[in-house]
C-alpha cells in the first residue's frame, strides 16, 4: 500500500549498498512518469453551453473534451440509460459523480441518521457503477454540518469508508475524497491529508481515493506539485477552476492563476485520470470554454 520504497534485507549490510541491484531498484521505483501522463479534459454538465444534453456533449467533444461529470441523478435508472447512450453516441466517458456530504450524515453520531447516509451513498455508488464512473466525490463534512473534532471525524471516516469502499469496488467504482479550503471545511483541507486517509483505509484497492481541486488548493497548498506528488496513485480526479483572485473560481485562464506547478505534479506521477471543469465563467461560455481548454493545454506543455 505504501509508495515508500524499502530496500531488501541484503541491502541492510553495508557491503550491499553499492551493488547495482540496490541502486537500480532505488532509482527505477519512483522516478518521473511524465511519459505516460496525459491531460484529459472533462466538464460538469452545468458548465457546458447548450440547451440539451446532446448539444452540450457535441460541443464538449468538438473542443477536445474526453468525459463529462454528472450528479446524484444516477440513482435514477432512466438517467443512467440516457448517459450510457450519450457516452456511446459521442464517444465520451463519465468521469465521476459529483456528490458531497449528504448533509454530513455519514459522520453523524445518530446511528439512524448515519445509516440513512450510508444507504444513500450506496445508491449513488450503484448508479456510478452503471454509468462506468471512476468514482463518487465525497466530502465527510462541510463547515456547519458537524460539531465533531478532527480526531473524532477521522475515527468515523476510518470506520465507514472501508465499508463503503468495499461496496464501491463491488460496483466497479470508488469513493473519491475531496479536500476543500478552510472556507468550506475544517476537516480534510489538503490533498496530502486526504491521501493519508486513503492509505489508512486501504487505498485504491479498497475503493478509497482522493482528488484535488485547484480552487481549494489555491488557499491550502503551498505547492500544487507537492500536493499531487503526495496524492500519487491515490489521485483519481481533478477539478479545474481559478483560485480566489477575482474573478474568483472562474474558468482557468480568466483570473491569472497558473496551473503549471500543479501540472508538473500530475506529469510526475503519470496521471491519466480526468481534469474536470467546476467553475464559473466571465463572458460567453461558448467562446470562453474552448479558449480555456487551449489555455490549459498550453499550461500542460509548459509543465
Instruction: Provide, rounded to whole angstroms, the least separation between the CB of residue 109 and a copy of itself.
Output: 16
CA contacts within 13 A on the Cβ side of 292: 34
Member of 177, 180, 231, 266 binding a copy of itself (CB under 8 A)? 231
Residue with cell 483519481: 236
Query: CB-wise, 40 or 264, nearer to a copy of itself?
Result: 264
Residue with cell 466538464: 43
The greatest distance separating any two alpha carbons of the chain, rounded to the nearest whole angstrom, comes to 70
Reply yes or no: is the peptide bond before residue 247 cis, omega within 30 of 0.
yes
Site for a copy of itself in 103-142 (CB under 8 A): none
For residue 22, count other CB atoms closer than 10 A to its CB: 15
User: Distance between CA 73 and CA 95 in Å, rounded?
Assistant: 14
Contact characters 163-192, a copy of itself, x per CB under 8 A: -----------------------x--xx-x
Member of 229, 241, 251, 289 binding a copy of itself (CB under 8 A)? 229
Instruction: Provide, rounded to whole angstroms, the least separation between the CB of residue 272 and a copy of itself.
Output: 18
Instruction: Provide, rounded to whole angstroms, the least separation between the CB of residue 219 and a copy of itself.
Output: 9
Angle between the N-to-C axes of helices 191-200 and 224-231, in degrees from 0 to 180, rounded to the nearest 10: 10
Contact characters 5-44, a copy of itself, x per CB under 8 A: xxx-x-xx-x--xx----x--xx-xx--------------
Query: Which of 45, 46, 41, 49 has its CA nearest to residue 284?
Result: 49
Asked if 63 is part of the footprint of a copy of itself (rule: CB under 8 A), the reply reads: no
Member of 157, 240, 257, 266 binding a copy of itself (CB under 8 A)? 257
Instruction: Provide, rounded to whole angstroms, the least separation between the CB of residue 78 and a copy of itself.
Output: 40
Residue 140 backbone dihedrals phi, psi, to 5 degrees: -55, -45
- Write b or e for each residue in 115-125: b if 16 or more Cβ atoms lie within 10 A of its Cβ, otherwise e: ebbbebbbebb
Residues forming the site for a copy of itself (CB under 8 A): 2-7, 9, 11-12, 14, 17-18, 23, 26-27, 29-30, 149-151, 186, 189-190, 192-193, 195-196, 198-199, 218, 220-232, 234, 243, 245, 253-254, 256-258, 260-261, 264-265, 291, 294-295, 298-299, 302
Amino acid at each position: 500500500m505504501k509508495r515508500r520504497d524499502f530496500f531488501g534485507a541484503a541491502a541492510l549490510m553495508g557491503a550491499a549498498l553499492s551493488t547495482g541491484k540496490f541502486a537500480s531498484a532505488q532509482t527505477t521505483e519512483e522516478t518521473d512518469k511524465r511519459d505516460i501522463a496525459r491531460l484529459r479534459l472533462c466538464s460538469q454538465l452545468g458548465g457546458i453551453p447548450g440547451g440539451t444534453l446532446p448539444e452540450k456533449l457535441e460541443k464538449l467533444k468538438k473542443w477536445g473534451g474526453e468525459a463529462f461529470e454528472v450528479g446524484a441523478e444516477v440513482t435514477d435508472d432512466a438517467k443512467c440509460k440516457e448517459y450510457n447512450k450519450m457516452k456511446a453516441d459521442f464517444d465520451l466517458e463519465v468521469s465521476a459523480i459529483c456528490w458531497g456530504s449528504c448533509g454530513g450524515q455519514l459522520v453523524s453520531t445518530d446511528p439512524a441518521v448515519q445509516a440513512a447516509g450510508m444507504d444513500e451513498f450506496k445508491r449513488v455508488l450503484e448508479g456510478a457503477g452503471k454509468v462506468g464512473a471512476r468514482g463518487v466525490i465525497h466530502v465527510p463534512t462541510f463547515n456547519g454540518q458537524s460539531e465533531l473534532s478532527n480526531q473524532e471525524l477521522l475515527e468515523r471516516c476510518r470506520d465507514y469508508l472501508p465499508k463503503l469502499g468495499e461496496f464501491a469496488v463491488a460496483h466497479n467504482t470508488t469513493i473519491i475524497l475531496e479536500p476543500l479550503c478552510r472556507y468550506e471545511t475544517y476537516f480534510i483541507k489538503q490533498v496530502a491529508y486526504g491521501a493519508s486517509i486513503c492509505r489508512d483505509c486501504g487505498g485504491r484497492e479498497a475503493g478509497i481515493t482522493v482528488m484535488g481541486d485547484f480552487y481549494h488548493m489555491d488557499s491550502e497548498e503551498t505547492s500544487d506539485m507537492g500536493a499531487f506528488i503526495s496524492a500519487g496513485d491515490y489521485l483519481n480526479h481533478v477539478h479545474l477552476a481559478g483560485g480566489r483572485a477575482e474573478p474568483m473560481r472562474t474558468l482557468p485562464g480568466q483570473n491569472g492563476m497558473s496551473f503549471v506547478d500543479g501540472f508538473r505534479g500530475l506529469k510526475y506521477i503519470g496521471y491519466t485520470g480526468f481534469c474536470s471543469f467546476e467553475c464559473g465563467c466571465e463572458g460567453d461560455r461558448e467562446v470562453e470554454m474552448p479558449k480555456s481548454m487551449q489555455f490549459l493545454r498550453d499550461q500542460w506543455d509548459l509543465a
